[in-house]
Amino acid sequence: MSEVAENLAQIQAQIARAANNAGRDPASVQLIAVSKTVEMPRVHEAYKAGQRLFGENKPQELVRKRPDLPEAEWHLIGNLQTNKVKSIIGQAALIHSIDSPKLLLEISKRAVEANVVQNCLVQLNISDEENKGGLDEENAKLLLAHAAELPNVQILGLMGMAAFTDDAVLIRSQFRRLRTAAMQFMAFQGPNIRMQHLSMGMSGDFEIAIEEGATLVRVGSAIFGARSLT
Ligand SMILES: *Cc1c(COP(=O)(O)O)cnc(C)c1O
């Protein structure tokens, strides 16, 4: 077995254990293998081991890699600038990082042009750290009200990132904040807004995220190893 395959098997076991501990069906949690900076031979190793969902944080990198593995589902998890929207429409199965009305408007416009429906998550800033990006609850509500009016976009839930800390109590409270927000936002439920996904949890905290309701966990270094800081 390749190292990547071994890591994937171990993480799937941890996901199942965390879900069972929380009284959840392990099948309700999907693993996104975050392949940013990882070159395609190792991404293919993961695919051969059965991994189907991959996450990239840069639109250019997603667009470059996807044709090499079009059968996989490619998720954009990183910040998206308005001028990059056109390149990513119809390429990303899900864009996790919607954080402004302007960005969502551009996505809607480009999705109409391309005749596709673009699935999106609204990113919430659950750590109150400025470098993390994302909206607070009040602005997320305004965004959802706006989204209800927009064609060719579908909001499927929320994404958040916990603080980078060893404080498990703090991390748990931040994930809980995302779940609480999603429950409040059920009030916005409509034809193109459904609160069905919570994208939260990374290599260091995905088990806590699952205990708090994550349906999508985004795990990179625990699968592919540490990334070089280039
Ligand atoms: C890089 C990244 C991850 C994965 O981080 P790891 O700690 O390597 O698991 C998850 N989410 C986002 C938004 C990222 O940019």
Q: Is 203 in the pocket of ligand 1 (CB under 6 A)?
A: yes
Give the model's pLDDT for residue 98: 98
d(C-alpha 55, C-alpha 73), whole Å: 9
State in Å: Cα 32 to ligand 1 middle: 10
Closest ligand 1 atom to residue 57 Cα is 15
pLDDT higher than threshold 80 for residue 228: no
Closest ligand 1 atom to residue 77 Cα is 13
Q: Which residues 6+ apart lie within 8 Å of 173 measured at CB?
A: none
Q: Is 193 in the pocket of ligand 1 (CB under 6 A)?
A: no
Closest ligand 1 atom to residue 96 Cα is 13
Task: Indicate left, alpha or beta for 50 from its phi (over 0: left) and psi (-120 to 50: alpha).
Answer: left
pLDDT digits (tens, 9 = 90+) for 87-125: 999 999 999 999 999 999 999 999 999 999 999 999 999
Q: What is the mean pLDDT of residues 122-135?
A: 92
What global pTM score does this model have? 0.97
Give the model's pLDDT for residue 132: 81
d(C-alpha 138, C-alpha 152), whole Å: 24
Tokens read off for 37? 């900076």
Give the model's pLDDT for residue 130: 81
Give the model's pLDDT for residue 229: 64
